[in-house]
Amino acid sequence: MLPGELRQTVMQQAQGALLLNIAYIGVVNGLFGQLERLGQASVPSLAEATGMDAGYVLRWIDAAYAFGLVDESAPDGFALSELGQAFLPDRPGTLMPFAVQSVLSAHMSERAAGLMRTGERPGESVLAERETILPWFGPMLEYQFGPLLEREILPNLKAYQEVAARGGLAIDLGCGNGWYLRALCRNFPGLRGLGLDGFAENIDQATACAETAGLRERLRFAQGDIYEFNSDEPADLIAMNRALHHVWDEKDTVFGILRDQLKPGGVAVIWEPAWPERRGDLRDPARRPVAFQNLTEHVQGNHFLRPEEIAAAFEAVGLEPEVHLFVNGREAVVTGRRPATV
């Protein structure tokens, strides 16, 4: 590719990033939602409806108009375009996760650039350094991975079918906004759930979402430390969704907890991005995001794992592992069963 063509390609990619940044502002400040509710709105009426500063709303409208997220609908009035509607958080197939990822990625890139000079790895706290990001982290994961869970993973893992048949208790360690447990309860009426997370923001959000979904009698959420976790009731299923790599440095402790908190015959279910065996696989466009995310995980003191590493950790504590791959091998669900007593 010639230098001019390279420049044009990168400029187009940069404009895509700008569009996502503008969309992010519209998502987290409720601008898209209010435009959808109102049908059309002037800048002053949109500012009043959202409680935002009118000067900022005007400049956001200009930017959103420039990138095709809103259209002029009348003199001094604006409405969501088809593209803007696609970012509504509750819209099926919403593009909202891409907007949140764009801003989160910029934040983590800036942190990595500075920390690379010192070697410091500050941990999970970096996720809470931008006050508008953390409340959207759980919804981002829910809309990104929830459909895959219900469409492909739940129907194809024997462990879930067993839990569905007998009911019991499912525990989600690192539950975020509770999306995974809500999905289990929707699909398995006999199941109860307990979610644990280190961020109070996530626990508040999970509790509120369970209330809205009519699941408060079956779901409970608590803030806590996984290393101190001890359930009063042994679990039929313990899940960790994209959370194991956060505690891998203490894997012996974590896998011991998984074993000890399971009923005989119970199953631990670990869902992680599948880090490839060969570096060359990272050139696959579908795997490029995980390569970037692994850099940002380093900032938090983590790294992504190969499925075989997770299976070996199950074996080391006496749990019987099975590896299941989805999305052309990019997503790994590794189960570890506690042997039933004879």
pLDDT in tens, 233-272: 999 999 999 999 999 999 999 999 999 999 999 999 999 9
CATH 3.40.50.150 assigned to 133-337: yes
Q: How confident is the model at residue 154 (pLDDT cuts 50, 70, 90)?
A: very high
Mean of per-residue pLDDT scores for the chain: 94
Dihedral angle sign, alpha carbons of residues 182, 183, 186, 192:
negative
Query: How high is the pLDDT of residue 342?
Result: 44
Question: Is the pLDDT at 1 greater than 70, yes or no?
Answer: no
Range with lowest mean pLDDT among 12-16, 54-58, 125-129, 335-339:
125-129
DSSP class of residue 172? E
Q: Which of 80, 56, 77 is nearest to 69 (CA)?
A: 80
What are the extents of the domains in the chain?
A: 3-85, 133-337
Q: Tell which wins on pLDDT, 228 or 96.
A: 96
Q: How confident is the model at residue 322 (pLDDT cuts 50, 70, 90)?
A: very high
pLDDT in tens, 191-225: 999 999 998 999 999 999 999 999 999 999 999 99
CA atoms of 182 and 115, how far apart (whole Å)? 37
CA atoms of 156 and 324, how far apart (whole Å)? 9
pLDDT in tens, 158-183: 888 888 888 889 999 999 999 999 99
- Rounded to two decimals, the pTM is 0.90
pLDDT in tens, 52-74: 999 999 999 999 999 999 999 88
Question: What tokens does 44 get?
Answer: 């002053």
Query: How high is the pLDDT of residue 19?
Result: 97
CATH 1.10.10.10 assigned to 3-85: yes
User: 10 Å Cβ neighbour count for 282?
Assistant: 14
Dihedral angle sign, alpha carbons of residues 153, 213, 167, 236:
positive
Question: What tokens does 321 get?
Answer: 């592992």
